[in-house]
């Protein structure tokens, strides 16, 4: 601690000395021979390393800013142009995603009056709710079994629980479709739910398992010693402690299901369209403010749930 403090004081002292020396250089005429000679003397006295550190710090900051700009600037533009005012061409009302015509909420109003949007939104919400519920139950039971019990094939079971996260989504979607076709399963909302649940269980499993790893089992032992049954102990002691982790995993599963396009496209039935599928079908004919508005709503729902899941996980 003393050594680190001494180093920091030395750095401050060197910084002040270098600033004083550089001030003396600036006071000289830039075209004077003494200017260049004095500058070389200062850089030779350790000032060069300090200048390189400052330059490296600025490069790092510029890199971080550029990365965040590349990630979030397109999203910001998408949201901005979803409020772009349209123009009337003939009998049609069209909008631009390049030229800003003014602020307007007409595209959101148009969405409210489009039955296809509402139908796809209901489908996506229904699938996500059922999927997240199944994932919460099965993922929690699986995590509890892996952490608390020793059984044959435990390591293999643990690996299989993580496989849906590891393998490419297109591979999983195609295998699900081949499974349904082989066994003659009629495609529809239920097949999408099954496909999403097999993927989302892994997220709940991972979150709850991490929660169980830090769990103090002495609380359960105390409840059992006071006369509580194993079921009462699980319901009144274990489950409330695991609740934040379960809820965080459930919200994450809901977000993954609500945003999914690939598995839904492979496993959907006739007439069943989810919101991501609707956006994808519309974008084939070009990007419009209406599509930006739909994407903004999806982004708002997914982002809010992801943020809520993160806060719950952090507090737990």
Output the average pLDDT for the chain: 81
Per-residue confidence (pLDDT) for residue 263, from 0 to 100: 92
Cβ-contact 46, 14 below 8 angstroms: yes
Between 316 and 239, residue with greater pLDDT: 239
Q: Which SS3 state, helix, strand or coil, does residue 88 take?
A: strand
- For residue range 242-259, list pLDDT tens digits in order: 888 888 889 889 989 988
Cβ-contact 232, 223 below 8 angstroms: yes
Map out the domains of the chain with their CATH numbers.
2-81 (no CATH), 106-315 (1.10.3720.10)
DSSP summary character for residue 94? E
- For residue range 175-218, list pLDDT tens digits in order: 999 999 999 999 989 999 999 998 899 999 998 998 888 777 88
For residues 201 and 169, what is the distance between their CA atoms, to the nearest angstrom? 14
Per-residue confidence (pLDDT) for residue 26, from 0 to 100: 52
Per-residue confidence (pLDDT) for residue 191, from 0 to 100: 93
Handedness of CA 155, 157, 162, 164 (dihedral sign): positive
Report the percentage of the chain scoring pLDDT > 90: 24
Cβ-contact 252, 306 below 8 angstroms: yes
173 by Cβ neighbours in 10 Å (0-12 / 13-18 / 19+) ranks as buried
Taking the complete model, does pTM exceed 0.75, yes or no? no
Between 215 and 84, residue with greater pLDDT: 84
How many helices (H) and strands (E) would you count in the chain? 14, 2
Handedness of CA 254, 258, 261, 263 (dihedral sign): positive
For residues 84 and 294, what is the distance between their CA atoms, to the nearest angstrom? 14
- For residue range 125-173, list pLDDT tens digits in order: 999 999 999 999 999 999 989 988 888 888 899 999 988 888 888 999 9
């Amino acid at each position: 601690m003393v050594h680190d403090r001494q180093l920091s004081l030395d750095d401050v002292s060197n910084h002040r000395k270098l600033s004083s020396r550089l001030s003396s250089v600036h006071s000289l005429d830039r075209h004077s021979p003494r200017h260049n000679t004095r500058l070389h003397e200062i850089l030779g006295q350790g000032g060069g390393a300090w200048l390189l550190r400052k330059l490296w710090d600025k490069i790092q900051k510029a890199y971080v800013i550029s990365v965040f700009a590349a990630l979030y600037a397109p999203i910001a533009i998408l949201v901005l142009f979803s409020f772009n005012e349209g123009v009337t061409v003939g009998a049609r009302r069209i909008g631009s995603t390049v030229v800003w015509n003014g602020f307007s909420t007409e595209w959101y109003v148009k969405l409210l009056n489009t039955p296809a949007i509402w139908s796809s939104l209901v489908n996506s919400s229904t699938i996500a709710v059922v999927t997240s519920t199944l994932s919460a139950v099965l993922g929690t039971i699986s995590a509890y079994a892996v952490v608390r019990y020793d059984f044959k094939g435990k390591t293999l079971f643990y690996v299989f629980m993580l496989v849906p996260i590891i393998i490419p989504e297109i591979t999983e979607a195609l295998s699900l479709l081949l499974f349904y076709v082989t066994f003659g399963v009629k495609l529809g909302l239920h097949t999408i739910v099954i496909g999403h649940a097999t993927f989302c269980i892994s997220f709940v499993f991972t979150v709850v398992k991490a929660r169980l790893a830090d769990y103090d089992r002495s609380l359960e032992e105390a409840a059992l010693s006071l006369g509580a049954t194993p079921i009462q102990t699980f319901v009144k002691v274990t489950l409330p402690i695991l609740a934040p982790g379960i809820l965080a995993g459930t919200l994450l599963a809901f977000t993954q299901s609500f945003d999914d396009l690939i598995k839904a496209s492979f496993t959907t039935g006739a007439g069943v369209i989810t919101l991501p599928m609707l956006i994808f079908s519309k974008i084939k004919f070009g990007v419009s403010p209406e599509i930006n508005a739909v994407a903004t709503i999806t982004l708002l729902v997914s982002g809010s749930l992801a943020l809520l899941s993160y806060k719950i996980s952090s507090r737990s």
